[in-house]
């Protein structure tokens, strides 16, 4: 995977390398392929990220991702902090302020943890620069000033760390950054104070380029507060530093600034002097665009001084330079067209050569094409066979799952039918036994009783009378037992025994376990109410077994003074209350509850079960 990333990034190098001077990047890529040390590879990735930050920030981020991956595998906090800081700088370049600050704060946290004062200060400077750039992009003055103030706070913290580490150059950087922010906030005195402090530190550290920028900043402040003499003085200092530093382009721009200063004070002659010096340096630089612009300025300057003859000379030079620039550009365009023509000619010759080779190797290519078609066809057939096998396996799996679902449903239906049949059989058996006891045994006992009566009339025997009384008692007991079995457990013993009897029957024929808890039912309820509650519980058990696929049901029945509360809960699959449409069973249940002016609530969540709560006032 790493080599794929390397190939992509190498490609991006060759694309951008045509327009950017990144001559050291091929060397870095070559090193990356040969180096084995993770720390060295991280440093190379970071060098590449630095080179690509301003030209291809997306590739630069990819480089830092690779560096982070290596750092996480082999922890090195110094390199980790450096990597996060580089990511922050890349995000800063992309204008993603929050991402930039987030990455830089990670680097800052690592550096604080390890007590690296200079590194901490540099992180604070970078975070302050993000806030500065972000504030500079806003239009609202109050928001801009708040952003610049936040940047100043970070610069001030950084300055403290640089002081503790006696780093004079970085102290100068912190002061320069503060001065720049103060200048944006129109706090000119504070800006001047910090620019001067920065110039002192830059002078001590011997950094002439930064010192030149510092002097230019001081000159700008003096321009704003209308002190042109002081501004000119610092522009001259900056120009002299430019000469010492051999930076012709900066020196030229400083001379042009000085000329503008002189023109502001109506000192056209002095402005002319600075423009002439700039013209001389522009000639050394051989920058046609810069020379053309200065010749135009000299033309206007002589015209303002009334020196028409020299103005015409510079106008002529200006026109000649423009002509030269146009000629060079035309020449360049012609050369490019010639190069394109030559390229096209070479392409045409290459095409002809390829055609000749194609004719010579036509048979060979035909064989290759035919072979390719055959191989492609075979591959297609193989892929189709593989797809067909996978499709068949998938269909077989789905058929198996569907068959399993059907079998499970049939088993559930069979359990329900077995439960209903068991209840019906038990009821029918009780009816049969009741009738047999009443009709057969009762009839037999009645006949024996009548026989005893006839015997007792003929003989006055106390034992016969005693036997007749026992026989009458047995006859009454048989009649009572037959009546009780016919009327059922519910009518005879009440709701709780009837529910226990129902549980025993269901658990015998199904895998469903039922837990029943009754409280305060010492006194029987209204017969009709008991019957309806019994039917409701029967319906809920059937629904739990048939639809919810439950394995356990909990039934709670309690009486609180005049209120009867029934709760039935299961561990089934549940359902969505909002989308659910009740069936006939639940409608009948609600109808039974409504007959007693009761309340019914159903709570269910998919995959967690269902709970039904019914409350009925026995006084209504």
Say which residue, 344 or 618, is predicted with more confidence. 618
Most confident of 298-307, 332-341, 380-389: 380-389
pLDDT at res. 346: 46
Q: What is the mean pLDDT of residues 591-602?
A: 88
pLDDT digits (tens, 9 = 90+) for 215-230: 888 988 998 888 888 8
| More confident site: 587 or 472 | 587
> What secondary structure does DSSP assign to 427-454, as a single string?
HHHHHHHHHIIIIIIHHHHHHHHHHHHH
pLDDT band at 427 (very low <50, low <70, confident <90, very high): low
Q: Is the model's pLDDT at 42 over the cut of 90?
A: no
Window from 6-10, 165-169, 285-289, 556-560 with minimum mean pLDDT: 6-10
Given a cut of 70, whether residue 590 has pLDDT beyond it is yes
Q: What is the pLDDT of residue 2?
A: 38
Domain parsing of the chain, residue ranges? 2-259, 397-487, 494-617
Instruction: Look over the chain and give the mean of its residue pLDDT values, rounded to a whole number.
Output: 78
pLDDT in tens, 551-585: 899 999 998 888 899 999 999 888 887 777 777 77
- Confidence bin at 520 (pLDDT 50/70/90): confident
Q: What is the mean pLDDT of residues 46-56?
A: 82
- Mean pLDDT value of segment 192-212: 85
Question: What per-residue confidence (pLDDT) applies to 110?
Answer: 92
Buried b (16+ CB within 10 A) or exposed e, 536-564: bbbbbbebbbbebebeebbbebebeeeeb
Q: Are 133 and 94 within 8 A, CB to CB?
A: no
What is 494-617's CATH number? 3.30.565.10
Task: Give whichever of 161-170, 187-196, 476-485, 514-523 has the largest mean pLDDT.
Answer: 187-196
pLDDT at 500: 87
- What is the rounded average pLDDT of the residues 167-174? 89
Q: How much is the pLDDT for 99? A: 94
* The pLDDT of residue 429: 65
Per-residue tokens: 323: 């002509």
What is the assigned CATH class of domain 2-259?
A: mainly alpha
Q: Which helix (H) or strand (E) holds 37?
A: none
Tell me which H or E stretch contains 519: strand 513-519
Segment among 59-73, 133-147, 462-476 with least mean pLDDT: 462-476
Residues sharing a CB contact under 8 Å with residue 291, sequence separation 6 or more, in sequence order: 279, 282, 283, 321
Rounding to the nearest 10 degrees, give the CA dihedral for residues 295, 297, 298, 300. Answer: 130
Read off the pLDDT of residues 306-326 as tens digits, 9 standing for 90 and up. Answer: 778 777 877 777 777 777 777
pLDDT for the residue 580: 73
Provide the pLDDT for residue 264. 65
Question: Of the ranges 53-57, 68-72, 286-290, 497-501, which one carries the lowest mean pLDDT score?
Answer: 286-290
CA angle 329, 333, 334 (to 5 degrees): 115
N-to-C CA span, the chain: 78
Which residue has better confidence, 486 or 601? 601
For 17-30, write each residue's pLDDT tens digit: 333 334 445 566 66
Q: Could you tell me what percent of the chain has a pLDDT over 90?
A: 19
Mean pLDDT, rounded, for 34-60: 80
Distance of CA 444 to the CA centre of its chain: 88
Which pLDDT score, from 0 to 100, does residue 8 have?
35
2-259 against 494-617: fold identical: no
- 466 pLDDT above the threshold of 90: no
Is the pLDDT at 373 greater than 80? The verdict is: yes
DSSP-derived secondary structure for 282-345: HHHHT-HHHHHHHHHHHHHHHHHHT-HHHHHHHHHHHHHHHHHHHHHHHHHHHHHHHHHHHHHH
Tens-place pLDDT, residues 274-307: 777 777 777 766 677 777 888 788 878 777 777 7
Q: Which two tokens stand for residue 580?
A: 């659910």
| 67 within 8 A of 49, measured Cβ to Cβ | yes
CA torsion sign for 216, 218, 222, 228 is: negative
- Residue 318 contacts residue 296 (beta carbons within 8 Å): yes
Residue 7 has pLDDT above 50, yes or no: no
| pLDDT tens-digit map of 73-127 | 778 888 889 999 999 999 998 899 999 999 999 999 999 999 999 899 999 999 9
Host H or E run for residue 564: strand 563-570
Q: Please spell the DSSP secondary structure of 239-259, one letter per residue.
A: HHHHHHTT-HHHHHHHHHHHH
Cα–Cα distance for residue pair 372/514, rounded to 1 Å: 70
Give which of 255, 306, 248 is closest to 277, Cα–Cα. Answer: 255
Mean pLDDT of the region 397-419:
72
Q: Where are the alpha helices (DSSP H) in 510-563?
A: 527-546
What is the pLDDT at residue 5?
A: 37
Please check whether residue 280 is in contact with residue 244, taking contact to mean a CB–CB distance below 8 angstroms.
no
The confidence score (pLDDT) of residue 12 equals 38
pLDDT at 320: 77
């Amino acid at each position: 995977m790493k080599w794929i990333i390397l190939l992509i990034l190498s490609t991006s190098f060759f694309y951008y390398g045509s327009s950017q001077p990144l001559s050291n990047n091929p060397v870095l890529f070559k090193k990356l392929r040969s180096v084995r040390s993770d720390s060295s590879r991280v440093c190379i990735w970071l060098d590449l990220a630095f080179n690509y930050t301003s030209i291809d920030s997306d590739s630069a981020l990819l480089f830092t991702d690779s560096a982070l991956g290596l750092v996480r595998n082999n922890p090195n906090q110094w390199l980790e902090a450096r990597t996060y800081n580089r990511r922050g700088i890349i995000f800063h370049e992309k204008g993603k302020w929050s991402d930039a600050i987030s990455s830089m704060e990670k680097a800052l946290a690592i550096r604080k943890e390890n007590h690296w004062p200079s590194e901490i200060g540099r992180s604070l400077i970078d975070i302050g620069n993000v806030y500065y750039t972000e504030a500079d992009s806003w239009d609202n003055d109050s928001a801009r000033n708040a952003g610049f103030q936040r940047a100043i706070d970070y610069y001030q913290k950084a300055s403290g760390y640089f002081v503790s580490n006696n780093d004079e150059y970085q102290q100068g950087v912190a002061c320069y950054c503060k001065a720049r922010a103060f200048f944006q906030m129109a706090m000119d005195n504070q800006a001047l104070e910090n620019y001067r402090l920065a110039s002192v530190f830059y002078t001590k550290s011997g950094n002439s380029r930064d010192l030149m920028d510092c002097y230019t900043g001081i000159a700008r402040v003096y321009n704003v507060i209308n002190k042109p003499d002081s501004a000119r003085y610092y522009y001259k200092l900056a120009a002299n530093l430019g000469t010492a530093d051999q930076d012709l382009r900066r020196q030229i721009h400083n001379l042009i600034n000085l000329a503008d200063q002189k023109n502001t004070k109506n000192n056209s002659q002095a402005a002319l002097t600075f423009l002439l010096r700039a013209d001389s340096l522009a000639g050394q630089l051989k920058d046609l665009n810069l020379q053309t612009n200065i010749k135009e300025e000299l033309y206007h300057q002589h015209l303002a001084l009334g020196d028409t003859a020299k103005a015409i000379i510079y106008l002529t030079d200006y026109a000649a330079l423009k002509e030269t620039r146009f000629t060079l550009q035309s020449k360049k365009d012609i050369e490019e067209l010639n190069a394109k023509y030559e390229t096209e000619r070479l392409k045409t010759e290459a095409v002809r050569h390829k055609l000749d080779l194609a004719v010579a190797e036509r048979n060979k290519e035909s064989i290759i094409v035919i072979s390719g078609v055959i191989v492609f066809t075979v591959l297609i057939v193989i892929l189709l066979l593989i797809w067909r096998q996978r499709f068949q396996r998938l269909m077989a799996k789905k058929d198996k799952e569907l068959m399993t679902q059907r079998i499970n449903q049939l088993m559930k239906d069979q359990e329900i039918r077995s439960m209903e049949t068991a209840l019906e059989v038990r009821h029918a058996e009780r009816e049969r036994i009741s009738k047999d006891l009443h009709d057969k045994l009762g009839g037999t006992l009645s006949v024996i009783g009548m026989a005893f009566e006839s015997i007792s009339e003929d003989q006055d025997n106390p034992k016969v009378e005693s036997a007749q009384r026992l026989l009458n008692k047995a006859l009454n007991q048989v009649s009572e037992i037959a009546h009780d079995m016919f009327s059922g457990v519910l009518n005879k013993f009440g709701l709780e025994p009837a529910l226990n009897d129902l549980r025993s029957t269901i658990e015998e024929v199904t895998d469903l376990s039922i837990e029943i808890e009754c409280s305060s039912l010492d006194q029987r309820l209204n017969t009709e109410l008991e019957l309806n509650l019994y039917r409701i519980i029967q319906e809920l058990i059937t629904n739990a077994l048939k639809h919810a696929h439950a394995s356990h049901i909990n039934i709670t029945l309690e009486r609180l003074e005049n209120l009867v509360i029934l709760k039935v809960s299961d561990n089934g699959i549940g359902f969505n209350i909002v989308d659910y449409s009740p069936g006939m069973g639940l409608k009948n249940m609600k109808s039974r509850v409504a007959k007693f002016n009761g309340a019914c609530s159903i709570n269910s969540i998919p995959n967690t079960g269902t709970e039904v709560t019914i409350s009925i006032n026995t006084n209504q």
